[in-house]
Amino acid sequence: MDMHALEPRSVWTHFFTICSIPHPSHYEKALGTELLSWAHARGIHAVMDSAGNVIMKKPASAGKEGARGVILQAHLDMVPQAMTGSAHDFTRDPIRPRLDPVNSGWLVATGTTLGSDNGIGVAMAMAILEDDTLAHGPLECLFTTNEEDGMDGARAIEQGPLTGELLLNLDGEDDAELTIGCAGAIRTAAVLARPAQVVPQQFAWFEASVSGLLGGHSGVDIDKGRANATLALVGLLAKSREPLSLASISGGTAANAIPREARALIGLAMDRVNAFQNEFHSEATALRIALGDRDPGFTASLEPQTAEASPRQALAPADTEALFAVLGALPNGLVAMEPDMPGLIRTSLNLGRLSGSVAAGQFKLDTLVMVRSSSDTEKEGLGATVEKRLAGAADHGWSVSQSRPSVTPAWTPNSASPLLAETKTVYRELFGKDPRVTSTHGGLETGLFRPRFPAWDMISIGPNIRYPHSPDERVEIASVARSYRFVRELLTRL
């Protein structure tokens, strides 16, 4: 199979162009500018707002002027995750797509996330805009920024620029599903600080690390029992009976991705090294057995550091112990399932990003936690629990400051939606079976749109995407063709 001969050709051509332009969260400007140039060259009305969102408009086809306006919506940014040891710079280097060497029916990237979430949605919308053979009503496209790290673009959308009544969110990840609801979310950022101390010269230093984990999307994969690399490493170190001094620690890159690897620089007295190594490896073996097939690549290691690489300052052992206790007390992973919807996650938590080191005599730790829930009450309750436990570090002499960079409401399903009814009919006629109507534990921008645009009738659809937010991300080629056919047919009927 020739990757550059994939069908529908227009969709894949646009997607490969998107891959060639770096566009991680917060760095979508170049891609947005390219979309503006593309639209203007084809006589399509297009503007970029102050948040970097791109809005395009195309008049109705002849005879469809009286149809309800449709908004096709997708986001411009992607989650930047690379394989261990990769030097890929997501702000400068293009994504390199390739056919999956094991199953050529799927497209993957070379050592990184692919960005089919949500580049395929953007590409489908662009292909529809340039197709003058398609009969449709008034058509608008909304391409938003920073969906993956706060939904800033969606928050900036105002009344006025968009006049459509029906919104098709193209951020779905299963072509057999019609999504009509999503979880809400709270992102809690915390900064913990404590004076460091000068460490004894006769200390031994190790880089402790956890790697090889599957990670994944903190919404759709959080119920799979996979380890959080950061918390796994903290747990291994916390179980040591030896006094440890922490000089630095890091794990994870995004609130909505389960950390796949973590590392820490740890020091201790030389006469305690053998006992520490034995404890660490024993606990790592036990954790590997406990994880089993849920995370078969789990690896934990201790690498001795040279004297030249040894730090001069670190946390005192008592402060290290207190920090590990605070982090270990955080709830994590799956919290509750929906009692009336088998298989649907209700509430979860992910410690997505953590980074700590010594500067100017202070050890400073930055954390980013994401709480998700379809229940706003549970979301607020769990968010408060997280913040209370992080604040508990103050009882051990740490200074603590916290904020909520973003709070997103849940999108409550509306099973009586006229758009849902029409979409189900079209799906059934095209594919000879009923779609699954569902809600997702992942976050969608529709959750932000609902309270501000209550008249919009919304649904989310998309092709089969697996392992999003990880370097194993892949999109099924045949599914892209099915999804594009579905969207085209739906537009002719609305």
Exposed/middle/buried for residue 11 (C-beta within 10 Å: 0-12, 13-18, 19+): buried
Sequence-ordered list of residues with C-beta below 8 angstroms from that of 212, at least 6 positions apart, any chain: 84, 260, 261, 295, 297, 298, 299
Q: Considering the candidates 28, 117, 140, 147, report the single residue annotated as catalytic.
A: 147
Rounded distance, CA 353 to CA 123, Å? 30
Rounded distance, CA 107 to CA 410, Å? 31
Q: What share of the chain is helix, strand, coil (3-state, %, to 5)?
A: 30, 30, 40
Residues across the chain: 494
* Number of neighbouring beta carbons within 10 Å of residue 39: 22
CA 422 to chain centre: 30
Q: Which residues of 261-287 are buried (b: 16+ CB within 10 A; e: fewer)?
A: bbbbbbbbbeebbeebbebbeebbeeb
Q: Rounded to whole angstroms, what are the CA distances from 65 to 60, 135, 422?
A: 5, 10, 19
Q: Which residues of 351-370 are buried (b: 16+ CB within 10 A; e: fewer)?
A: bbbbbbbbeeeebbbebbbb
Rounded distance, CA 279 to CA 239, Å? 8
Task: Look up 77 and say whether it is catalytic.
Answer: yes
Sequence-ordered list of residues with C-beta below 8 angstroms from that of 45, at least 6 positions apart, any chain: 39, 56, 57, 58
Rounded distance, CA 98 to CA 113, Å? 12
Task: Look up 303 and say whether it is catalytic.
Answer: no
Rounded distance, CA 108 to CA 62, Å? 40
Q: Which tokens sit at 310?
A: 């040894």
The 3-state DSSP class for residue 493 equals helix
CA 156 to chain centre: 20
Amino acid at the residue 346: R
Q: Which tokens sit at 197?
A: 């101390």
Q: Rounded to whole angstroms, what are the CA distances from 468 to 122, 131, 380, 464?
A: 16, 29, 26, 10
Q: Rounded to whole angstroms, what are the CA distances from 432 to 171, 427, 476?
A: 23, 8, 20
Q: Give the residue numbers annotated as catalytic, written as ranges.
A: 77, 147
